[in-house]
A and B are shown apart, each in its own frame.
Chain A
């Protein structure tokens, strides 16, 4: 089959590899109909996530049709149309019992590697480095899905692929980011980053009852989408002081909750500040550029909540812990427990509360994956989301 493989820093190629097979009794094989490039794939592409190997198949946002099931999979049959959540979860351990599926204790065969990196392991993730299991991803024609009796959700309505696909990651991730904020009537939520997760965090904050949502980015086309499609007020941080604008927009209080949807490759408008973290990151003295998170913490209302959905992999310098402690902030974070949100968010889509396809700006063939990565990485051609079809 053809598959998008990581071939080193800033290099992906579409290659022929063997077709996947059933390796465990609870596996299923999915013939992929649509697959997307995630912002977190760019961290792999840029070489910031350790434990990647040349030849790894990328991709953790995919959907398609079941073509084969293992002997213990009884809830799915050949021909079912499914969306696959990006975390791999067994459904039987204590983490799964607590519905914290991205912390599944049985799905990462490389748990000891993850434990060295982070203190304990996370779940396995499709196409997302060897620290999260070394699983082949879904930017390919077929994918093997372990614990298929637990993860994939059947799509039985006539939703289009683009309406259903983002249940795999970015919609639930944005939704969980907003849910962390424990939104009360009258709350103002600020969202850093207007990529796909940011767009869904904004939309979800409104679904959960936010009074106003303020979006922060440096690309006008992304801010326009946040304003027109998700209903946010906007701040372009290259044109205005985020701090002054937020204070003004919130009557001097600061946002009740701040959501970081940027992660480890953040930018800063001041060249010297940006260079400080860029150099440290390039020389591997820290792994994260924390501009967005620092700003989110610094500007949050006293006693408010900072929700971190952007990806961080290791260690950050100049983390403003003093602001967190002295102003009583709550930090909530985590890789999304997608399984928890699949059913309720699918119902929201089917009811017409939201149409997630609004983020799609680029559609292309799987064969053009390397163009897709370059376009998305450099935000060329007003790119927000690339969907590929094999």
Chain B
């Protein structure tokens, strides 16, 4: 039905991060499954509370391990390990103050955690430095142009969809970060996007390629604060399923406040944001409007996924507030 991707390296390329990730799993699995045995091994109190605590520590380890292996950027997860080590050292410290238990074992465990702590800090600092220096790093350097691709199939003719997309003033109906797009000439338009804290950023764009029913390409004009470009291709889908839209967008994030606006515009996960925009486009093309729910009154919207409203009707004024993003028909 739809797909999206964005450029960037898969995690983790860094061998030390990989090692720490494996270490997280090796520690987290016994801690979660056999918390009592781990407690006895390291000589801390093995009661119901102690087991619960050990299991919680295990879950945290597993989460860090999963994060290191699945996130494109392992650095925050390495720092999460550092934070976890600090908690463990505090817990072991309090166990050591309690003289009734096996102090030798607890001391040995404290030594091991201190070692892991050092390794985590070293790797965290190294990765953070490397990414800010823009060297050959496991992270995507922020200065590189960001390219996002997404595709979606819409049950309408190519010509209809081309016409809908060619009407640039309708973009804010499905691209949620846009406040207004105004046509200023046959191939020229003025764009206004929402930024953080009520700020806006504006730029002019021109259509650089326009083949009716096939493709449209656009880019910001030279000298714009925001260097961005995009292409949409319309391809007949096989088997009477309508039309495939293949969209490619590219932008170079500048520094400073404008950069922050751009980052916000494309969201934490640009691939997901573009795809949600395409879902809204598809909904408008196929059903005439973007469906709204109590949990997501704006329709598909990336940032709303994390901040769902409860699924019950909202008071009047809140519904009215949401409708500015509601999509046209």
- Of B55, B153, B276, B308, the residue contacting A134 (CB under 8 A) is B308
Chain A residue numbers with a CB within 8 Å of B282 are: 93, 105-106
Quote the shortest CB–CB distance from B25 to chain A (angstroms): 13
Q: Mark A11-36, 1 if CB is under 8 A from B, else 0.
A: 00000011111011110000000000
Chain A residue numbers with a CB within 8 Å of B289 are: 24-26
Q: Which one of A53-61, A79-87, A156-164, A286-294 is at the interface?
A: A53-61
Quote the shortest CB–CB distance from B308 to chain A (angstroms): 5
Does B288 contact A25, Cβ atoms closer than 8 Å? yes
Q: By the criterion of a CB under 8 Å from any partner CB, how many residues of chain A are at the interface?
A: 48
Does A112 contact B292, Cβ atoms closer than 8 Å? no
The A-contacting residues of B in range 184-241, CB under 8 angstroms, are 241
Give the nearest-CB partner of A18 in chain B. Answer: B313
Known contacts A94-B153, A106-B291, A109-B296, A137 near B311 by CB under 8 Å: yes
Quote the shortest CB–CB distance from B80 to chain A (angstroms): 19
Quote the shortest CB–CB distance from A345 to chain B (angstroms): 26
Does A135 contact B299, Cβ atoms closer than 8 Å? no
Quote the shortest CB–CB distance from A19 to chain B (angstroms): 6
Chain A residue numbers with a CB within 8 Å of B312 are: 3, 5, 17-18, 55-57, 136
Quote the shortest CB–CB distance from A247 to chain B (angstroms): 37
Give the nearest-CB partner of B271 in chain A. Answer: A112
Does A283 contact B295, Cβ atoms closer than 8 Å? no
- Of A24, A91, A94, A147, the residue contacting B242 (CB under 8 A) is A94
Chain A residue numbers with a CB within 8 Å of B298 are: 109
Quote the shortest CB–CB distance from A94 to chain B (angstroms): 5
User: Is residue B319 contacting chain A, with contact meaning CB distance below 8 A?
Assistant: yes
| Interface SS of chain A | loop
Quote the shortest CB–CB distance from A100 to chain B (angstroms): 12
Quote the shortest CB–CB distance from B291 to chain A (angstroms): 5
User: Is residue B15 contacting chain A, with contact meaning CB distance below 8 A?
Assistant: no
Known contacts A112-B276, A124-B291, A55 near B296 by CB under 8 Å: no
Known contacts A17-B313, A106-B291, A135-B294, A25 near B329 by CB under 8 Å: yes
Chain A residue numbers with a CB within 8 Å of B300 are: 109-112
Q: Mark B286-329, 1 if CB is under 8 A from A, else 0.
A: 11111111111111111011001111111110010000001001
Q: By the criterion of a CB under 8 Å from any partner CB, how many residues of chain B are at the interface?
A: 45
Known contacts A26-B289, A106-B287, A124-B291, A55 near B310 by CB under 8 Å: yes
User: Is residue B275 contacting chain A, with contact meaning CB distance below 8 A?
Assistant: yes
| Interface SS of chain B | loop
Quote the shortest CB–CB distance from A332 to chain B (angstroms): 21
Does A18 contact B315, Cβ atoms closer than 8 Å? yes
Does B1 contact A120, Cβ atoms closer than 8 Å? yes
Q: How far is the CA of A146 from the CA of B293 in the complex (A)?
A: 9
Quote the shortest CB–CB distance from A22 to chain B (angstroms): 10
Q: Mark B263-294, 1 if CB is under 8 A from A, else 0.
A: 00000000010011001001100111111111
Known contacts A24-B292, A124-B293, A94 near B155 by CB under 8 Å: yes
Does A109 contact B291, Cβ atoms closer than 8 Å? yes
Chain B residue numbers with a CB within 8 Å of A107 are: 291
Give the nearest-CB partner of B295 in chain A. Answer: A134
Chain A residue numbers with a CB within 8 Å of B316 are: 18, 21
Q: How far is the CA of A135 from the CA of B308 in the complex (A)?
A: 11
Does B311 contact A136, Cβ atoms closer than 8 Å? yes
User: Is residue B75 contacting chain A, with contact meaning CB distance below 8 A?
Assistant: no
Q: Mark A94-110, 1 if CB is under 8 A from B, else 0.
A: 11010000000111011
Chain A residue numbers with a CB within 8 Å of B55 are: 283
Give the nearest-CB partner of B315 in chain A. Answer: A18
User: Is residue A127 contacting chain B, with contact meaning CB distance below 8 A?
Assistant: yes
Chain A residue numbers with a CB within 8 Å of B290 are: 109
- Of B286, B291, B313, the residue contacting A21 (CB under 8 A) is B313
Chain A residue numbers with a CB within 8 Å of B301 are: 109
Quote the shortest CB–CB distance from A91 to chain B (angstroms): 8
Given contacts A17-B313, A135-B293, 19 further A-B contacts (CB under 8 A): A5-B312, A19-B313, A23-B297, A25-B288, A26-B287, A53-B308, A55-B312, A56-B312, A72-B288, A72-B329, A95-B1, A106-B286, A106-B287, A107-B291, A109-B292, A110-B305, A110-B308, A133-B293, A144-B294
Interface residues of A (CB under 8 A from B): 3, 5, 17-21, 23-26, 51, 53-57, 72, 88, 90-95, 97, 105-107, 109-113, 120-121, 124, 127, 130, 133-137, 144, 146-147, 283
Would you mind naming 22 contact pairs between A and B with Cβ atoms under 8 Å apart? A19-B313, A24-B291, A24-B292, A25-B329, A26-B287, A51-B308, A53-B309, A56-B295, A56-B311, A56-B312, A91-B287, A93-B287, A94-B1, A94-B153, A109-B298, A111-B276, A112-B300, A124-B291, A127-B311, A134-B308, A136-B294, A147-B287
Closest 4 CB pairs of A and B: A134-B295, A55-B310, A109-B296, A56-B311
